[in-house]
Amino acid sequence: MQFVCRYGAPDGRVLTEVQTGSDVDSVRRELERQGFHIFEVKPRGFSFQLRNPFAGKRKVPPQEFLAFNQELAALLRAGLPLLQALDLMLERMQNPVMNEVLTEVRDKVRSGAELSDAFEDFGDLFPPIYSSSLRAGERSGELEQVIRRFMRYLKLLLDARKRVVSALVYPSVLVGLSVLMLVVMAVYVVPNFSKFYADLDAELPAITQWTLAISFFLRDHFLAIIVAVVVSSIVFRSWFRSPSGRRAFDSFKLRVPLLGEIFHRFALSEYCRSLATLLAGGIPLVSALETATSAVGNVHVSGKLRPAIDDVREGTALHVAVERSGTFPHMAVNMLKVGEATGSLDEMLNSIGDYFDEFVETRVGRLLSLVEPVMLIIMGILIAILLISIYLPMFGALSQMSV
C-alpha cells in the first residue's frame, strides 16, 4: 500500500512524500528510524475520495490534461506568477472535473502549499510521476522545463497506446459484426425453419437437430443470458478493482500466448519512460524508482520491480537490481549498464523505451496480420455450418422426391 507522509527533516525542512509499506505503523517506524519527525501518515487518496465525489469514477481525459499542461507551461514561460497563471486558466476551463480540481489546487497554492503537494492530494486522479516531476521543478527552479519534459513523456505514452488501439479497431468490429449476425440467425432465422421441417415429416440430420436445439435455447433464454452476462461483467469488474483481483488478472495477461509478451514489454516501456523523465528532472534515483514503479500499469510487473528499490538503496547498481527482478531482457540490462557507466542513464532509458515501443508496435502488427484472416476463416466456417444445417434437410427431401 502507498501512504502520504508529512514529516520534518533534520535540516528543518517539512516534506510530504509517498512511501510504501504494509500499514501506517510500519511506515511511521521506518521514517522515525531514519531520523525524521513524523507529523502525519495516511493512506494515499483516502481523504480525496471523501471530499470529491468524482474520485475513482470520473477521470480527467489525458488529452485535456495534456492541454492543461501546455497552457500552464506557456504562461510560466511568459513570466506570469504561478497563482496568476492558475487564475487565468480557471477563467477558460470548460471541463467540469478539471475545473473543480484546478479550483482546489489554486486555493491550496494561495494558502501557501506547493503545486506538487496540491496535485499529490488528489491520489490516483493524476499519475504519481506528475507530482514528483513538479516537485523536482520547484526545487530546481525549472518548473516550466519540467512540465514540458512531462508533456513529452505523456505524448509518447498516448501515441503508443493510440497506435495499439487503432490497430485493434478493425478486428474488433469484424468479430462484433460476425457474432451479431450469428446471434440473429440463431435466434430469429433458424427457429422459423422448424415449421417447415415439421411439414417435411422427415428425420432431421444430427447437425440440424443440434442447431435447432441451440437456437431454441438462445431464443427461450435470451433475457436470462443477457442478465447473466451483465451480472458477470459487474462481478468481474468488482473483482478486478480489488488488489488481489487486479494482481491475478495482470499476471494472467502476461501468460496469454502471443499477447503476454506484448503486455510485458509495454509495462517495461512505461517504467523506462517514467524513470527517464524523473531522472532528467533531477529526482534522486531511489525516489525516482519508487515513483516509476508505481506508474507501471501492470501490477504484477510493478510488484516484481519493487525489490529493486531496496537493492539500489543498499548500494546495488541499477542494472544489477533490475536483472535480479527477472523482468528485463538481457539486452536492456546491458543498455542500462552502459548508461550507468557513461552517466547518461536518462538518455539510455529513453532509448530502451523506444526499443520496447518498436517491439510492441511490430509484434501487434504481425499479430493482427494473422488475426484478421484467421477470424475470417473461423467466422466463415461457423456461417457455413449454420447454412448447411438449415438446408441439409431440404436437400434430403428433394432427393427422396426425385427417387
Angle at 112 between CA 110 and CA 115, to 5 degrees: 80
pLDDT band of residue 56 (cuts 50, 70, 90) is very low
Q: Which of 229, 130, 224, 141 is nearest to 179 (CA)?
A: 229
Predicted pLDDT of residue 11: 66
Residue-wise burial string across 18-50, b where 16 or more C-beta atoms lie within 10 A, e elsewhere: bbebeeeeebbeebeeeebeeeebeebbeebbe
pLDDT band of residue 52 (cuts 50, 70, 90) is very low
Could you give the 3-state DSSP secondary structure of residue 54?
coil
pLDDT band of residue 50 (cuts 50, 70, 90) is very low
Comparison of pLDDT for 175 and 311, the residue scoring more: 311
Q: Which residue has the cell 462484433?
A: 176
| Residue 286 exposed, middle or buried by CB count within 10 Å (0-12, 13-18, 19+) | exposed
314-368 residue pLDDT tens: 999 999 999 998 899 999 999 999 999 998 898 899 899 888 888 888 887 788 7
Cα(329)–Cα(265) distance, integer angstroms: 9
Q: Which of 296, 319, 295 is nearest to 308 (CA)?
A: 319
Mean pLDDT value of segment 31-48? 67
Cα(231)–Cα(226) distance, integer angstroms: 9
Could you give the 3-state DSSP secondary structure of residue 89?
helix
Mean pLDDT value of segment 125-136? 77
| pTM, entire model | 0.64
Cα(374)–Cα(377) distance, integer angstroms: 5
Q: Which residue has the cell 480525496?
A: 48
pLDDT band of residue 14 (cuts 50, 70, 90) is low
The x, y and z cell numbers of residue 342, run together, are 557513461
- CA distances in angstroms from 97 to 54, 121, 127, 198, 215, listed in the order given: 8, 15, 16, 62, 47
Cα(326)–Cα(172) distance, integer angstroms: 33
Residue-wise burial string across 54-67, b where 16 or more C-beta atoms lie within 10 A, e elsewhere: ebeeeebeeeebee
Residue 151 pLDDT > 50 = yes
- CA distances in angstroms from 26 to 20, 23, 244, 312, 378, listed in the order given: 10, 6, 21, 21, 55
Assess contact for 300 and 247: CB atoms under 8 A.
yes
Comparison of pLDDT for 157 and 319, the residue scoring more: 319
Residue 54 pLDDT > 50 = no
Predicted pLDDT of residue 48: 33
Assess contact for 282 and 345: CB atoms under 8 A.
no
pLDDT band of residue 46 (cuts 50, 70, 90) is very low
Predicted pLDDT of residue 49: 33
Assess contact for 363 and 373: CB atoms under 8 A.
no
Assess contact for 254 and 303: CB atoms under 8 A.
no
Predicted pLDDT of residue 55: 37
Predicted pLDDT of residue 176: 80
CA-based end-to-end distance of the chain:
79
Radius of gyration of the chain (CA): 28
Please give the mean pLDDT across all residues of the chain: 80
HSE, side-chain direction, 13 A CA sphere, residue 137: 23
Enumerate domains of the chain plus CATH numbers. 1-44 (3.10.20), 156-403 (no CATH)
Q: 37-43 and 14-20 as β-strands: parallel, antiparallel, unpaired?
A: unpaired
Residue-wise burial string across 147-164, b where 16 or more C-beta atoms lie within 10 A, e elsewhere: bbbbbebbebbeebeeeb
Residue 32 pLDDT > 90 = no
pLDDT band of residue 295 (cuts 50, 70, 90) is confident
| Percent of the chain residues topping a pLDDT of 90 | 10
Residue 13 pLDDT > 70 = no
170-227 residue pLDDT tens: 777 877 887 787 778 777 777 777 777 777 666 778 888 888 888 888 888 888 988 9
222-278 residue pLDDT tens: 889 889 999 999 998 888 878 888 888 889 989 988 888 988 998 898 888 888 888
Cα(390)–Cα(289) distance, integer angstroms: 62
Predicted pLDDT of residue 231: 94
pLDDT band of residue 58 (cuts 50, 70, 90) is low
Mean pLDDT value of segment 55-66? 68
Cα(18)–Cα(292) distance, integer angstroms: 12
Assess contact for 330 and 243: CB atoms under 8 A.
no
Q: Which residue has the cell 525549472?
A: 142
Residue 102 pLDDT > 70 = yes
Residue 403 pLDDT > 60 = no
